Structure 1
Amino acid sequence: MNNIKNIFSIKDLENLSGIKAHTIRIWEKRYNILEPMRTDTNIRYYDLASLQKLLNITLLHDHGYKISKIATYPPETIPKLVQDITSNINSQNHAISAFKMAMMNFDQELFLNTYNWLIAEKSFKEIFYQVFIPLMTELGILWQTDTITPAHEHFISYLIRQKILIQIEKLQGLKPSNNDKVFVLSLPMNEIHELGLMYLNYETLLKGYKTIYLGASMPIENLMDLKKHFDSIIFISYLTIKPDIDSVNDYVSQMIQELWDESTQLWYIGSKVEYISSDEFSDKIQVFNSISQLVDHIE
């Protein structure tokens, strides 16, 4: 059974475009910018073409075009104006919209073309902070509101993952310039959100350190093996959906008990760090509220 989403409610359009549903209704009624289809019970729904048009209109509106003027343009003019805007300025919002549209259409070519356009103008670091982080934040919201399916999320995440891996591979052939410590990066058991940890691997390599990347679902007892091979280790754990809120402090406590000593540091990042009892563990761990904060802390 095909459960890929290709029709959208007005709430979905709000979530994807950032334009309030009330405003979309006004634009429809007053300017006829979209022509929704209707269910038998008269409920609006929209196709991918409507979503694409709304995302383009949103970009024009964000760049000073009045909606009353946009409404007078023939259908072929709006995409041309969007193309003119994006060819003359570095448009973060356009890139995010294009990536979302690529995701909704499972359009790898659009993703790659948008990325290539960005990388010609920006560093990979700028792309990650200015585009990928806001995009991933939006994906989380779209997931929670059932606007996108797992297939959508996996599709776009895999393409972003590829781009991070390409940057990592460029650095892995270089000999580390800082040999006083090793960074070990892993996720707790059943944690699958890996993109943030992968980017931290890239940044740590960029700063000249040796990294051991272990990825998803790494049992704490297996981390102990690393201590047999390296004298000074910084363990980085990224906690996004796991452990559960009630288990976060047990997880940290177990890591302290099994891994911590004077030559070992335990660093934590991710949405679940707010549930760590920092007062209880403050002398043995470090908690970071953002990727940039952690990166700045790498000496």
Structure 2
Amino acid sequence: MQENASESPDKSAVSLSIAAVERDTGLSKDTLRVWERRYGFPQPRRDGLGERAYSVDDVEKLRLLRRLIDAGHRPGRIVRQPIEALQALAAQAGAPPREASGNGEREAELGRFVELVRAHDVDALRGALSQSALRLGLGRFVMDCAAPLNRMIGEAWARGEIEVYEEHLYTESMQVVLRNAIANIPPVRATPRVLLTTFPSEAHGLGLLMAEALLALDGCRCSSLGVQTPLLDIVMAARSQRADIVALSFSAVLNPNQVVDGLAELRATLPEHTEIWAGGHCPILQRRPPAGVRVLVDLAEIPAELARWRGGRAEQPAS
């Protein structure tokens, strides 16, 4: 069988460690262990050293589960379902109705970006995204192009229309375009000073970059630590940068207790005048907003929150 290059490799002979599955799916090791104990999936075998070894089929289902959870589904309702049912659920989500989009030209442009992803034409994709950013301006590009395109790529992946590596090609291309655009924003000395990062278990950074772009356009002094920063380092960086706001992004796959406990610890450690903004698709943020933390459900809320912050500062008496 191995001598026939036209045949697919034997997936049953391939296994991945828990660290590899974490990197591949974006699901933390803690989440994988909790699901194994609570829902009976995944059920990895053990290798010769007694370590968990996950099959390719396990990983494919975990990828799909992550996408569905990102879309708002609760783990307890979907983890036990067979992959065929999950694929059908993902297909039902589909794209928003065309009449709701209201812009056929924009829909067509987004579709062309997806086709460039499928064609693996990274240079053309980055060039087209850069041209769109120049034409629309960075603010409109983030809201009218990057945000809906992220959803389209995620839905295409959930329906099995693109592979994980193709999604990674897209993500890296979009990050390059956003970073270049942010670098071209003239530096400002205004406030608020915003520190951006994610918790140690959060590896998704595209939403963070989109938020940074909108904040920088609105005259904020932004400092980004990238992703997966330990809490103590967040606190030290906030103090060294004299941050007025610490902005954090959370995806839907994070352990809710880690999100709530981490934000509570951060709130207790940071100075009272330093605000904490939490955004992203983690459901616990809306169901149980942590005390002393401002939860932003959507990027579109950033201008109003900045106006509120600046208005409050204007009302304070001069020291």
Under a length normalisation based on structure 2, what TM-score does the superposition of the two structures give? 0.59
**Alignment correspondent of 1:206:** 217
**Does the C-alpha gap of structure 1 residues 245 and 146 become closer, same or farther in structure 2, counting only changes over 3 Å?**
farther
Moved more, 101-110 or 210-219: 101-110
**Does the C-alpha gap of structure 1 residues 122 and 276 become closer, same or farther in structure 2, counting only changes over 3 Å?**
closer
Residues 194 and 244 in structure 2, CA contact (< 8 A), matched pair in contact too = yes
Report matched runs for 1:85-100 at 5 Å.
Answer: 91-100=105-114
Q: In the aligned structure 2, how far is the partner of 1:263 from the partner of 1:151?
A: 42
- Does residue 293 (structure 1) correspond to residue 301 (structure 2)? The answer is yes
Residues 183 and 234 in structure 1, CA contact (< 8 A), matched pair in contact too = yes
- Show CA shifts across 1:34-88 (max 9, x none): xxxxxxxxxxxxxxxxxxxxxxxxxxxx79xxxxxxxxxxxxxxxxxxxxxxxxx
1:138 to 140, 152, 177: 152
Report matched runs for 1:1-299 at 5 Å.
Answer: 91-112=105-126, 114-115=128-129, 118-119=132-133, 121-171=135-185, 173-176=186-189, 178-179=190-191, 181-241=192-252, 243-259=254-270, 261-275=271-285, 278=288, 281-282=290-291, 284-299=292-307
Q: In the aligned structure 1, how far is the partner of 2:104 from the partner of 2:117?
A: 21
Residues 235 and 267 in structure 1, CA contact (< 8 A), matched pair in contact too = yes
**Does the C-alpha gap of structure 1 residues 243 and 257 become closer, same or farther in structure 2, counting only changes over 3 Å?**
farther
Residues 99 and 110 in structure 1, CA contact (< 8 A), matched pair in contact too = no
Q: In the aligned structure 2, how far is the partner of 1:264 from the partner of 1:120?
A: 34
- Show CA shifts across 1:251-280 (max 9, x none): 222212222x3221111001115445546x
**Does the C-alpha gap of structure 1 residues 249 and 116 become closer, same or farther in structure 2, counting only changes over 3 Å?**
closer
Q: Give, in angstroms, the shift of residue 175 of structure 1.
A: 3.2
State percent identity of aligned pairs.
Answer: 14
Instruction: Tell me the secondary structure at the aligned position of residue 237 of structure 1.
Output: strand
**Does the C-alpha gap of structure 1 residues 219 and 116 become closer, same or farther in structure 2, counting only changes over 3 Å?**
closer
CA RMSD of aligned residues (A): 2.8
**Does the C-alpha gap of structure 1 residues 265 and 97 become closer, same or farther in structure 2, counting only changes over 3 Å?**
same
**Does the C-alpha gap of structure 1 residues 127 and 276 become closer, same or farther in structure 2, counting only changes over 3 Å?**
closer
Unpaired runs of 5+ in structure 1? 4-61, 64-88
Q: Give, in angstroms, the shift of residue 118 of structure 1.
A: 3.0
**Does the C-alpha gap of structure 1 residues 254 and 93 become closer, same or farther in structure 2, counting only changes over 3 Å?**
same
Structure 2 counterpart of 1:267, which letter? W
**Does the C-alpha gap of structure 1 residues 227 and 117 become closer, same or farther in structure 2, counting only changes over 3 Å?**
closer
- Show CA shifts across 1:165-185 (max 9, x none): 1111112x5232x24x32110
Instruction: Tell me the secondary structure at the aligned position of residue 298 of structure 1.
Output: helix
Under a length normalisation based on structure 1, what TM-score does the superposition of the two structures give? 0.62
Moved more, 264-273 or 203-212: 203-212
Larger Rg belongs to: 1
Q: In the aligned structure 2, how far is the partner of 1:227 from the partner of 1:93?
A: 40
**Does the C-alpha gap of structure 1 residues 149 and 121 become closer, same or farther in structure 2, counting only changes over 3 Å?**
same
- Show CA shifts across 1:275-297 (max 9, x none): 45546x34x11001101112431
Instruction: Tell me the secondary structure at the aligned position of residue 174 of structure 1.
Output: coil
Unpaired runs of 5+ in structure 2? 10-97, 308-319
Q: In the aligned structure 1, how far is the partner of 2:157 from the partner of 2:109?
A: 20
Residues 189 and 243 in structure 1, CA contact (< 8 A), matched pair in contact too = no
Q: In the aligned structure 2, how far is the partner of 1:234 from the partner of 1:294?
A: 12
Structure with higher RCO (Cα < 8 A, 6+ apart): 2
Q: In the aligned structure 2, how far is the partner of 1:241 from the partner of 1:273?
A: 6
Residues 256 and 284 in structure 2, CA contact (< 8 A), matched pair in contact too = no
Q: Give, in angstroms, the shift of residue 231 of structure 1.
A: 4.2
Q: Give, in angstroms, the shift of residue 112 of structure 1.
A: 4.2
